[in-house]
Structure 1
Amino acid sequence: MRELTIADVKAAVRGGAVFAAGGGGWVDHGLEIGGAAVGVGRPKLVSVDELPDDAIIVTCTAIGAPAGNEWEMWGIDYIKAVQLLMETYEGKVVGVMTPQNGMSSTINGWLPAAALGLVVVDATGDIRAHPTGKMGSMGLAARTDYETIQVVVGGRRDTGSYLELVVKGTPAKTSNILRTASDMSGGFIASARHPIPASYVKEHAAIGGVSTALDLGYAMIEAEQHGPETIMNTVAEKTKGRYIGRGTVLKKDVHYSGAFDIGTITMDDGTGKTLLLHVMNEYMAVDDQDGNRLTTYPDVITTFDTATGLPVSVGGVKEGMEIGLLVISKHDVPLSSSVKDPTVYPEVEKALGIPLAEYGLKGL
Structure 2
Amino acid sequence: MRELTKDDVLAAVKGGSVFASGGGGWVDHGLEIGGAALAVGKPKLVSVDELPDDAIILTCTAIGAPAGRDWQMLGKDYIKAVQLIIEKYEGKIVGVMTPQNGMSSTINGWLPAAALGLVVVDATGDIRAHPTGKMGSLGLSSNIEYETIQAVAGGKPEIGSYLELIVKGTVARTSNILRTASDMAGGFIAAARHPLPAKYIKEHAAIGGISIAIDLGRAIIEAEPFGPAHVLETITEKTGGRIIGTGKVRKKDVHYSGAFDIGTIEIESEENTYILHVMNEYMAVEDRGGKRYSTFPDVITTFSIETGQPVSVGNIEEGAEIAVFAIDKAKIPLSSSVKDPSVYPEVEEVLGIELYKYAFEEKKEINV
Q: TM-score range by the shorter chain?
A: over 0.9
TM-score (norm 1): 0.99
Task: Please give the per-residue CA displacement for 1:30-87, whole angstroms capped at 9, x wherever unaligned.
Answer: 0000100011110000000000000000000000002222110100000000001001
Matched, 1:333 2:327: no
Structure 2: tracts of 5 or more residues without a match: 364-368
The corresponding residue for 1:272 is 271
Letter aligned with residue 323 of structure 1: I
Cα offset for 1:289? 2.0
Alignment of 1:280-295 (within 5 A): 280-295=279-294
The aligned residue for residue 198 of structure 1 is: 198
Q: In the TM superposition, what whole-angstrom CA distance separates every residue of 1:263-306 from its partner, at most 9, and x where no partner exists?
A: 000011x3331000000000000111211111100000000011
Aligned length: 363
| Mapped partners of 2:12, 2:36: distance in 1 | 14
Give 3-state SS (helix, strand or coil) of 1:320's partner: coil
SS in 2 for 1:164: strand
Cα distance in 1 for residues equivalent to 2:360 and 2:347 = 14
Secondary structure of the structure 1 residue equivalent to 2:159: coil
**How many Å separate the matches in 2 of 1:43 and 1:316?**
31
Conserved 8 A contact 1:139-1:341: yes
2:239 aligned partner: 239
Is 1:64 the counterpart of 2:81? The answer is no
Amino acid at match of 2:270: T
- Structure 2 CA distance, aligned partners of 1:362 and 1:195? 32
Structure 1 residue 363: Cα displacement: 6.6
* Partners of 2:126 and 2:248 in 1: CA distance: 30
Give runs of aligned pairs for residues 114-153 of structure 1, distance below 5 A. Answer: 114-153=114-153
- Give the deviation of 1:139 after TM superposition: 0.2
Q: Which runs of 4+ in 1 moved over 4 A?
A: none
Note if contact 1:275-1:289 (Cα within 8 Å) is conserved in structure 2: yes
Cα distance in 2, alignment partners of residues 171 and 65 from structure 1: 20
Q: Which amino acid aligns with 1:344?
A: V
User: Percent identity, aligned pairs only?
Assistant: 72
2:366 corresponding residue in structure 1: none
- TM-score normalised by length of structure 2: 0.98
Classify the secondary structure of the residue corresponding to 1:310. coil
**1:70-123 Cα deviation digits (max 9, x unpaired):** 110100000000001001000000000000000000001000000000000000
In structure 2, the partner of 1:352 is 351
Task: Report the equivalent of 1:36.
Answer: 36
Q: Which amino acid aligns with 2:284?
A: A
Give the superposed CA RMSD. 0.8
Task: Tell me whether 1:23 sits opposite 2:23 in the alignment.
Answer: yes
Offset of 1:156 from its aligned partner?
1.7
In the TM superposition, residue 137 of structure 1 has moved relative to its aligned partner by: 0.4
Q: Distance in 2 between matches of 1:133 and 1:361?
A: 20
Gaps of 5+ in 1: none
Secondary structure, aligned partner of 2:32: helix
